[in-house]
Amino acid sequence: MKRSHRLYLPKMGWPKLDQTLWDAAYKSGTDPFDECGPAVHHAQRTKLQLEYAYGKLLAFLSDRHPELLKRSPSERLSRKIIEEYVRWQPASCGGVTLSIYLYHLWLALRSICPSESWSWLRTTSKRVFAQAKRQPEKHHLVTSETLYALGFDLMDCVHTKTDTVKKISVTDAMHYRNGLIVALLATVPLRRRTLAVLRLGRHLVRSGNLWTIDIPAEDVKTKRPLEYVISAELSLRIDRYVNEFRPRIPGAETHNCLWASNRGRPMREGIIYATVRQYTRETLGFPVNLHHFRRAAATFWSIRDPVNVRGVKDLLGHASFGTTEKHYIMAQSRIAGRALAQAIRKGPRS
């Protein structure tokens, strides 16, 4: 049975008060003495996510409780209303997705009504997430070493082939590019938005025999500049890509973005995401998300160098180690599990 109502209300359809509060939350000024909105620090992607979550709530209220739209945002919501809002979502909307919607809604309300306490909504989001049924993630079995080797295998295979036939096709160039993306992410686990904006001569700079990635704060989610020195073996592959393979991709000469697409423009972050998933699915039997490269790097570091594990925070560009520890490092439980499994396999000693 099809729904007769919308699941999302665009901003132009919001009540006037909501639009005003939203614009005030994201108000920014050039004068340092001007008062900026509480959400002005949000990245554009985050802003769109929160706008979508808030639009979903207003669509629900418009459908079930239109009289509440005449009230201020702080007077509309209660635990009962949110409970009804959750039940209103389509059956295809899983628990994890619902928890994300509620979390984004909490962030949005905290921005437009900062004087109100919305902690109960965040708690609800956590409870929905805890109760959600999640599929086991096979890509957690993949290490940074495996991903690094995958990238190098593809690049070296393409290089050997083209060196033999003395000709580089567009397909060869794109395969080499894909291998470089995977290998680079295995050592420099950037967020996909930051990965997509890399530009030759601006973010990727040659320094002697090595390449350096230097990313200013405005191109980073946490607004903290990042700098990485690329290893000699990976720098050599970047040289080959820039000088031999990238020029073979149509339209690559029209821009300085590192990742050129065959459509005469830079690869968009969504295309990079899909490309990496497809390649890892073909080689590993299951797709690996870009975000897993960050988890894999944190786990790899914590296993190999647990004493200096706090350095992972800087590698990933996190504002605090708490974020790194909470979301990325899963090494100690794995080590314990592997040790137990190994002991079981050996059996009792005679």
For 9-41, what is each residue's pLDDT tens digit?
Answer: 999 999 999 999 999 999 886 565 566 888 888
The two three-digit tokens of residue 17, written as one number: 């008060």
Confidence of residue 214 (pLDDT cuts 50, 70, 90): confident
CATH 1.10.443.10 domain position(s) in the chain? 139-291
pLDDT value for 32: 57
Task: Name the pTM for this structure.
Answer: 0.58
pLDDT value for 311: 45
- Residue given tokens 């990042």 in the structure block: 226
The yes-or-no verdict on residue 48 having pLDDT over 80 is yes
Confidence of residue 316 (pLDDT cuts 50, 70, 90): very low
The two three-digit tokens of residue 87, written as one number: 């039940």
Q: Which element (helix H / strand E) includes 205? A: strand 204-207
3-state SS class at 257: strand
pLDDT value for 213: 86
> pLDDT: is 119 or 134 the higher one?
119
The CATH number that domain 139-291 falls under is 1.10.443.10
pLDDT, average across residues 60-85: 94
- Residue given tokens 């009804």 in the structure block: 84
pLDDT value for 335: 41
The angle formed by the CA atoms of residues 312, 318 and 324, to the nearest 5 degrees, is: 55
